[in-house]
Amino acid sequence: MTDDDWRDSGFRERRPSAETLAWVAASMGRGSRIVGYRRLTGGVCSAVNRLTVERRGVRTFVVLRQYPAGLDLQETLEKEIANLGVVAGSGLPVPEVLGADVGGASTGGAPALLMSRLPGHVHLTPDEPRSWLTRIAEIAVQLHSLDLPAKTFRPWKDSWIAPRDGFRVPGDAQKPAVWKAAFSAMALQPPKDTAVFLHGDFLPVNLLWSRGRITGLTDWNSIYRGSRAVDVGQCRRYLATLYSPEWAEQLRTLYESIAGVTLHPWWDLYALLHYDETGSKWIRGQVAGRRPVDTPGMTPRVEQTIQAALQRLN
C-alpha cells in the first residue's frame, strides 16, 4: 500500500473503530467512556479526531491521531512521541501524550497516538496580516531560544529535497534562470551557521490560534538543531505559495527584528527550494477549504521569493 493508495482510500474520513474507542476509554482511566467524536480537518498523512471523554460525570476533549494499517510508520510515531517528551515543560503550547499504541495491537492495526486537546483552531484568513505574522515570528524566536537536545540537521539527508544534481525547474516557471541560479548556489558547501532548536515543520497549518494568540504548536515529527533559517524558510515558502512574496518577506524582516539576528540567505534558499509542482495537492489537503487556494499562482510567487533571497546571498 503506497501513500497515494491510502490517501485515496478514504482512511481519513472513516470513523474511529470500536476497538480504537475502547482503547481510548481504557487509556483515560477506569470508568471512562467515549460519548462523541468529530474528525478534524487538514490532516494529510493521518486521520485526526477530537473525542469527547466522560468520566465520573466530567467531560473532557482529547485528540486522537491514527495512521492507516499496512504502512510501516512505527518509527515515525515513536519519533513524534519522543519529540513531544523533549518539548514537554518547555513553555511552548504543545500537546501532552496521554497514550500510544505504536503497533496498532489494540486499535485494529492502525497505529494511534492519544493527546491532550489544545485550545484554538488553524487560522489562515487573518484580518490583520502584519499582527498575524508578528505572532508567528515571535513564537519562532521563542522556539529557537530553547536549549533542548536534538540531532544536528543534515542538509540533503534530513529532508525530501532533491540531491544537488537532481533539481528540476518547475514547468510553469516564468524565469527559469532564477531557479538555475538558486540550484547553482546549492552546489556550494553548506555554510556554517549558529545551530538552534528547530521544529522541522514550522508551517501556518501547524499553529493553533484563539483570540489573536497562538495557543498551539503541533506536528512534532522532525526536531533538529540547525540554522534558524530552515524553520523560517519553510514558513516563508508556505506563505509565498499560499499568499504572496510580500508576506514571506514580512515574516523574514519581523523575525530578524525580534530575534536581533540576520537569517542566513543560503539556508533560506535551501528551505525555499523544497517547493515543487506536486505541492499544490498537499496544500489543498492541509488548507481543507479554510481559504481559497490559487494553484496557478504558486510557482510564480515562490519564484519571486527565491529571487529576492538570491539577491541577499549575492
Are 87 and 189 members of one domain? Answer: no
Residues contacting 184, CB < 8 A, separation 6+: none
Question: Closest by alpha carbon to 125, among 285, 302, 294, 290?
Answer: 290
Buried b (16+ CB within 10 A) or exposed e, 253-262: ebbbeebebe
The overall longest dimension of the chain from CA atoms, in Å, is 66
The domain that contains 71 carries what CATH number? Answer: 3.30.200.20
* 155 and 286 together in one domain: yes
Q: In what order do the strands lie in the sheet with 47-55?
A: 33-39, 47-55, 58-66, 112-116, 97-101
Q: What is the pLDDT of residues 282-307, one digit of tens each?
A: 888 889 889 999 999 999 999 999 99
In a domain, 122, yes or no: no
pLDDT digits (tens, 9 = 90+) for 20-39: 999 999 999 999 999 999 99
User: According to the per-residue pLDDT averaged within each range, which of 90-94, 109-113, 276-280, 286-290 is highest?
Assistant: 90-94
Strands (E) located in 69-118:
97-101, 112-116
How high does pLDDT run on average in the chain? 91
Judgement on whether residues 265 and 295 belong to the same structural domain of the protein? yes
Nearest to 101, CA basis, from 131, 73, 142, 129: 73
Q: Which of 116, 144, 177 is the last residue of a domain?
A: 116
* Predicted confidence band of residue 14 (pLDDT cuts 50, 70, 90): low
Q: What is the pLDDT of residue 70?
A: 67
Q: Which one of 4-8, 24-28, 40-44 scores highest in mean pLDDT? A: 24-28
Helices (H), the chain: 3-8, 18-27, 74-87, 129-144, 176-186, 228-242, 245-259, 265-272, 279-287, 298-313
Residue 150 shares a structural domain with residue 81: no
pLDDT on residue 276:
84
One domain for residues 224 and 149? yes
Choose one of 52, 84, 116: the last residue of a domain.
116
How would residue 8 be classed by pLDDT, with cut points 50, 70 and 90? Answer: very low
Helix axes 228-242, 245-259, angle to 10 degrees: 150
Q: Judge if 303 and 174 occupy the same domain.
A: yes
What pLDDT is attached to residue 120? 96
Q: Which residues contact 181 (CB under 8 A, 6 or more apart)?
A: 310
pLDDT at 61: 97
Range of the domain at 271: 129-313
pLDDT class for 43, splitting at 50, 70, 90? low
- The residues, any chain, with a CB within 8 Å of residue 150's CB and separated by 6 or more, are 86, 197, 198, 223, 224, 225
Domain count, the chain: 2
- Is 32 among the domain residues? yes
Residue 173 in any domain: the answer is: yes
pLDDT at 1: 36
- Could you tell me if 95 and 133 lie in one domain? no
Out of 116, 151, 182, a domain closes at: 116
Closest CA to 314 of 268, 274, 271, 265: 265
Query: Is 79 part of a structural domain of the chain?
Result: yes
Work out the number of other CB atoms within 10 angstroms of the CB of residue 82.
12
Q: How far is CA 200 from the centre of its chain?
A: 7
pLDDT at 69: 77
Helices (H), 104-194: 129-144, 176-186
Distances (CA, A) of 181 to 46, 184, 194, 276: 37, 5, 25, 16
Residue bearing the bigger pLDDT, 76 or 161: 76
- The answer to whether the beta carbons of residues 239 and 118 sit under 8 Å apart is no
Confidence of residue 56 (pLDDT cuts 50, 70, 90): very high
Same domain, 190 and 265: yes
pLDDT in tens, 225-242: 999 999 999 999 999 999
Task: Confirm whether 123 is domain-assigned.
Answer: no
